[in-house]
Structure 1
Amino acid sequence: MTAFDLTAQPSGGAIEDIYPLTGLQQGMLFHSRLAPGMGVYWIWMGLPLHGDLDPGVLRQAWELVFARHEVLRTGVVWEQVPVPMAVVSRSVPLPWQVIDLSGLDEDAQRRAIDDYLAADETTGADFAAPTLVRVALVRLGEDRHQLLWSYHHLLLDGWSSPAVIGEVLQAYQELVAGRQPILPDRRPFRDFVAWLLGQDQEEAKRYWREQLAGFTAPNALGVGHTTGETGRGTAWARLDKDAFARVAEFARRHRLTVNTVVQGAWAVLTARYAGTDDVVFGVTSSGRSGQLDGIESVIGLLMNTTPARIKVDPGQTVPQWLAAVQAEQVRGRRFEHTPLTDIQACSQVPAGQPLFETLFIFENYPAPGWNGGQGSPGTGGLRAGAVFHGRPQGNYPLTVAAGIGPVQELSIRLDYERDRFDPAAMERMAEHLATVLEAIATSTDQKVAELPVLTAAERVQVVADWNDTVAPLPGVGGAHDLVAERVRQHPDAVAVVCGSRLVTYGGLWERAGRFAGLLRAAGAGPESVVGLCLPRGIDLVAAVLG
């Protein structure tokens, strides 16, 4: 049997195309199949729709977009083939469902939607099906609907999903107005796969061997431990509009990207936590750096995860160091599509150990392709609200995802495994990350080593509160008076221990007296300076008192 025969069986329909999954797609498939029912890499998006909506026309718009993009009509075959294959069906019925919740109050509607999404996530992807997508339209009232769209991450990246929704809404507007939709030309995803297969992997491997030389074990953050909990937790670091404006101005002034600044802050924090100046963590790149004509228009999963190795040079100024970090990012862009498994093989980290356990993502996606909530002529005043979405459960113990919000604030989400990290530690880490970022934004000639990690409250605690050890002393002339008082009160109490020997206060006082007598006989008197050369022990203490 040929690969075509094998792949044609599960989908049960006419096959349009077959090509291998990319390295990242293969990794997502592996981890999803490793944890069925956990929603690994399953994503859902919700879009509120207000106004007069024609469900039949909206379905027609979705069907048109399904027909345009092969990734939406893609299933997967992984058995009896050398590498997992993407199978594109020529025609796929739209997985469409209409749910009417208009008879429920708002609280009941929210619970019903939550229940639907939880069940949808548990169901996850049927990789043998001809599509890894599901669409549901929820009717909440006469002029209120929610569009719920879920899919497996191996189909689409964060650049593609807003484009798909934008095309659906654009097609709907045109169809409602009685016009044939004219949607933008896009290069097919299979062109990207073909380009990827033609890359010089040997040159990429030489680059990654150079980058990872001498790195032998993943960085340990020093705050992980077995907690007995399950699932994933979230902590947030947030910079408000004014604080983020300072970060953005620092980046502009020094010709840096905001991504570089935030990534640099995470590198500093990782170095402090791990106790090393040599850090490696995963980074996600968009994969749309222009190496292929028209790559920015492709709908599909073009992103990739690769390691970032950053030497945190404590002696450099912050701007100098970040400029070097950014220069290396640019140099490595040619090799950003190298499969992570190939990169791991280029490293000196032993087989079976991960190259890194934290993933850094800077979410800088293009603006959605719809009308931002304003009604459009010919649509009956239909308005699309702000998208809300669930986050895919990845396979890294800690994922740090930064994004710029609608009012130009910076939000950084720390998504962590609860069996490895406790919430208090993650909340502190989030606060420390914000502290480093704000310090970078105000630095000029500041050295990297001088960047603070502790918050203002923690600095007060360490410097002032924990050092507030002032205690009243007895009104005595010196240490010998204190010892004399102990001799009077507790002569038989142990005063000094040295190995297996010990002496009581009474015995120590007697030794000191004999030593003082020897000094007087030798001509020493009050205020005389006498040098002592004795090993640490009981005799040294007696001599000091004498």
Structure 2
Amino acid sequence: NGTIDPLLLEKSFNSILERHELLRSAIEYEITVQPRNVILKNRKIGFRSRDIRRQSAEQQKVSMDRFLKEDREKGFDLSRDPLIRLQLIQTGDEEYTLIWSNHHILFDGWGRGIILAELFQLYGDERFGRTRQLEEPEAYSTYIRWLEEQSREDAAQYWKNYLKGYKEKSGIPVNRKSGKTGDSGNREKVIALSRGLTRKLADLAARNHVTIHTALQSVWGVLLAK
């Protein structure tokens, strides 16, 4: 809600891409033996804006649903497409919907939160004429070099010592059907969490600086341990 300058929003997003080389990635996998992460010097974000204020509320919903369906079906060409794309849709004089699509190969939900915080900071600084306050980030290549310097042997030894004394794996009970070869009785269970519980999970994840996915994996681990 409010007034948005589409050109300034696009400029701010492109400033984010300039700050973080990872976001300018292309993944080349067709002409190389091993996939390569290629950092492009001048990649711009895939940004489009539309104004549908003249449409009725029902028409706007149809337009939104159609766009979301087409966007999902489009997917991403890892070696050619910008791996983040945005569509700013104006639905009222001071109402907008920003549809953000990115490939998970770039970052997770926690990373998206960092990018959004920087985006709002850059957009606000530019719009109100403030001096840019964000510090220069560490290059992704620096992280990769650090990662390559880590000892796999030391890590393996750490976990061997940590798990010392455990003699067997924790098995998950399986109810196997008789008489049907290959049918182990696997089933899918869909569980709907309440808004309140979902909010508590999000708060738990935020307090510990992890994603909700990590929080749920931890809950699952505790359950298996018990």
TM-score clears 0.5: yes
What CA distance in whole angstroms lies between the structure 2 residues aligned with 1:80 and 1:165? 34
Asked if 1:185 corresponds to 2:136, the answer is: yes
State the alpha-carbon separation in 1 of the partners of residues 218 and 109 from structure 2. 23
Q: Quote the residue 2:125 is aligned against.
A: 174
**SS at 1:235 equivalent:** coil
Secondary structure in 2 aligned to 1:183? coil
8 A Cα contact 1:51 1:144, kept in partner: yes
Match of 1:129 among 67, 80, 84: 80
Q: Is the 8 A contact 1:135 1:149 kept in 2?
A: yes
* C-alpha contact (below 8 Å) 1:102/1:139 kept by paired residues: yes
For normalisation by structure 1, the TM-score amounts to 0.33
Q: Summarize the Cα distance change of 1:60–1:268 in structure 2 as closer, same or farther, 3 Å threshold.
A: closer
**1:480-509 CA distance string (max 9 Å, x none):** xxxxxxxxxxxxxxxxxxxxxxxxxxxxxx
Give per-residue Cα distances to partners, 1:69-117, cap 9 Å, x unaligned.
1122101012453532111100013311112221222233233223222
Q: Distance in 1 between matches of 2:138 and 2:186?
A: 47
Alpha-carbon spacing, 1:137–1:234, altered in 2? closer, same or farther (3 Å): farther
Alignment match, 1:74? 25
Percent of residue pairs bearing the same amino acid type: 25
**Of 122, 127, 148, the match for 1:197:** 148
Displacement after TM superposition at 1:172 (Å): 1.5
CA distance change for structure 1 residues 183 and 119 in 2, over 3 Å: closer, same or farther? Answer: same
One-letter amino acid of the counterpart of residue 235, structure 1: I
* Conserved? CA contact 2:50–2:89, under 8 Å: yes
Q: Is the 8 A contact 2:25 2:38 kept in 1?
A: yes
Please give the secondary structure, in 1, of the residue aligned with 2:38.
Answer: strand
Q: Which amino acid aligns with 1:184?
A: E
Q: Hey, what's the Cα distance between the residues in 1 that align with 2:87 and 2:217? A: 37
Question: In the aligned structure 2, how far is the partner of 1:119 from the partner of 1:71?
Answer: 26
1:158 aligns with 2:114: no
1:118 aligns with 2:69: yes
Aligned partners of 2:12 and 2:122 also within 8 Å: yes
Partners of 2:19 and 2:136 within 8 A in 1: no
Q: Deviations over 1:140-192 (max 9, x none)?
A: 11111111111011111222211211222222212222345332332122211
User: In the TM superposition, what is the alpha-carbon distance from 1:267 to its structure 2 partner?
Assistant: 4.5
Match of 2:172 in 1: 219
**Secondary structure at 2:39 match in 1:** strand
Task: Give the gaps of 5 or more residues in structure 1.
Answer: 1-49, 249-258, 270-278, 280-309, 313-546
Kindly tell me: are residues 141 and 128 of structure 1, through their superposed partners in 2, closer, same or farther at Cα, counting changes over 3 Å?
same
CA distance in 1, matches of 2:6, 2:118: 16
Q: Residues 417-445 of structure 1, C-alpha deviation per residue, up to 9 Å, x if partnerless?
A: xxxxxxxxxxxxxxxxxxxxxxxxxxxxx
Cα deviation, residue 264, structure 1: 7.1
Corresponding residue number in structure 1 for 2:6: 55
Asked whether the equivalents of residues 96 and 135 of structure 1 are also in contact (C-alpha less than 8 Å), the reply is yes
User: Which residue in 2 is equivalent to 1:17?
Assistant: none
- Higher normalized strand content (fraction of residues): 1
- CA–CA separation in structure 1 for the residues paired with 2:17 and 2:148: 26
Partner-residue secondary structure (3-state), 2:14: helix
Q: Aligned runs of 1:64-463 on 2, under 5 Å?
A: 64-129=15-80, 131-208=82-159, 211=163, 214-215=168-169, 219=172, 222=175, 225=185, 234-238=190-194, 240=196, 266-267=220-221, 269=223, 279=224, 310=225, 312=226
Count how many residue pairs are aligned between Structure 1 and Structure 2. Answer: 203
Instruction: Name the CA distance, whole Å, in 2 between partners of 1:152 and 1:61.
Output: 20
Decide whether aligned partners of structure 1 residues 204 and 86 sit closer, same or farther in structure 2, where only a CA change above 3 A counts: same
Change in Cα spacing, 1:147 to 1:265, as seen in structure 2 (3 Å) is closer
Q: 1:262 to 1:64 in 2, by over 3 A?
A: closer
- Displacement of 1:196 in angstroms is 1.0
Q: What is the CA distance between 1:265 and its match in structure 2?
A: 5.6
The residue that corresponds to 1:528 in the other structure is: none
Structure of greater Rg: 1
Residues 147 and 184 from structure 1, CA distance in 2 versus in 1: closer, same or farther, beyond 3 angstroms?
farther
Q: Deviations over 1:12-70 (max 9, x none)?
A: xxxxxxxxxxxxxxxxxxxxxxxxxxxxxxxxxxxxxx112221211211121121111
